[in-house]
Amino acid sequence: KAGVTQTPRYLIKTRGQQVTLSCSPISGHRSVSWYQQTPGQGLQFLFEYFSETQRNKGNFPGRFSGRQFSNSRSEMNVSTLELGDSALYLCASSLVPDKTDTQYFGPGTRLTVL
C-alpha cells in the first residue's frame, strides 16, 4: 500500500506570494491533518479535515487555509507569504479521527520563503 504522498517536496517562494501544497492520504484513509515544523517552534498542528470538512484548527493566522476533496486528498494554502512561514509542512492521514487511530505522516514539503 502506498504511503502518504506530498507534492511538491521542495518549494522556494518570495515574500508576498501564495503557495498551495498537496497531500494524498493512504488509500481508504479519510482523515487528513496538517502540521508545520520549524526549528524554533517544533511541530505545530495546523488543521484537520474529515469528510471534506475542517474539524479542528490550530492557532495560526487566517493566511493559512486548507480544503479536502471527495477523494480525501487535501490541499493547504498559505497566502501573503512571510519569511517566518519557511518550514517543513507535514501531512498525516488516518482512517477516521479517532484518538486510538494511528496517524501516518508523509515526508513533508520543505518551503523556503525568500
Partner 1 sequence: DAKTTQPNSMESNEEEPVHLPCNHSTISGTDYIHWYRQLPSQGPEYVIHGLTSNVNNRMASLAIAEDRKSSTLILHRATLRDAAVYYCILRDNMEYGNKLVFGAGTILRVKS
Binding partner 1 by CB under 8 A: which of 19, 87, 92, 113? 92
Least Å from the CB of residue 101 to partner 1: 7
How do strand 109-113 and strand 10-13 relate by DSSP bridges?
A: parallel
Q: What's 103's DSSP letter?
A: P
In angstroms, the CA 83 to CA 112 distance is 8
**Spatial distance between the Cα atoms of 105 and 78, rounded to a whole number of angstroms:** 20
Residue from 42, 53, 62, 70 that binds partner 1 (CB under 8 A)?
Answer: 42
Tell me which residues in 52-81 interact with partner 1 (CB under 8 A): 55-56, 58
Residue 49 beta carbon to partner 1: minimum distance, rounded to whole angstroms:
10
